[in-house]
Amino acid sequence: MKHPIDPKVDCVFKAILGAEENSNLLIHFLNAILLGDLGKPIVQVEILNPYNEKEFLTDKLSVVDVKARDADGRQYQVEVQMESYPHLPKRIAYTWCDIHAAQLSAGQDYKVLRPTYGIWLLAENLLRGDDDYAHDFRLRDLRGRPLAENGGIYLLELAKFRAQRIETPEQHWLKFFKDGGTLDDEALPEWMATPEMRQAMSVLKKFSEKERDYHLYQSRMNFLREQSAIRGDFEEIEESLAEARRLAEQERAAREQERAAKEAALAAKEAALAEVERLKALLTRK
């Protein structure tokens, strides 16, 4: 390719899975990740917010996730996240709840609710102390019993994905999104020799070789760098404020401890004086 293209950059990611002409790739991806839970393959989807190149060119805050609905009414949200940060889990949970609740309009019965599945591809690790790359979150009790068939949230941490052999459809997709930016379209590895992987690779090639698409890619990369820098500065400020609060709390605790010590000393002195007075009184009576 003329330029290396990272499939995790949002405009590329959405062009791969969110373009109507690539709806077969979205179906293949969803089946690869969810088939074990869905019971039967998805055969048709309606992309609810399809990829629109003009939106990315004119609006840096374009909606970059992929939302879709299948023939059974189940809803899907697929999103890629380049950076992990402390409040990301809350955002993930909130967006799932928001999409799930949006199914109902005023007066509709709860029985019309269909399961909602959120799938997040994370470029950076989010869950520390856990080597598993795939995580499945559901609304269950401590015994594993579901409250209702609501779907779930799937987190796929690409940095933890280290399969030696690429065999399953899920592994193909995870390997593609993790390493696709380093592939040479003239010498693709064996694991890329499937119709879906070659079709996905053609999207990367389009962004690489067409000047307008590469300009869009570069624009999004610059935007993401700016966002990363802003978030880094914000996190530094938060850390500084947290350190200032910690030092202020230590100082307050030290002052409180000093005050308590003075009060204890004063109380001991008063008690000693009271004892002296008591003894004097005894001597006087004798």
Decide if 2 is inside a domain. Answer: no
Instruction: Give the span between the Cα atoms of 25 and 16, in whole angstroms.
Output: 7
Decide if 270 is inside a domain. Answer: no
Decide if 257 is inside a domain. Answer: no
Decide if 281 is inside a domain. Answer: no
Decide if 133 is inside a domain. Answer: yes
Decide if 177 is inside a domain. Answer: yes
Decide if 168 is inside a domain. Answer: yes
Domain total of the chain: 1
Tell me what percent of the residues of the chain surpass a pLDDT of 70.
92
pTM over 0.95: no
- Domain of residue 168, residue span: 10-209
Decide if 285 is inside a domain. Answer: no
Whole-angstrom CA distances from 81 to 64, 87, 256, 265 are 10, 13, 45, 59
Which tokens hold the place of 59? 């609006």
What pLDDT digit, counting tens, does each position of 55-70 carry? 776 666 566 799 999 9
Confidence tier at 231 by pLDDT (50, 70, 90): low
What pLDDT digit, counting tens, does each position of 169-202 carry? 999 999 999 999 999 888 999 999 999 999 999 9
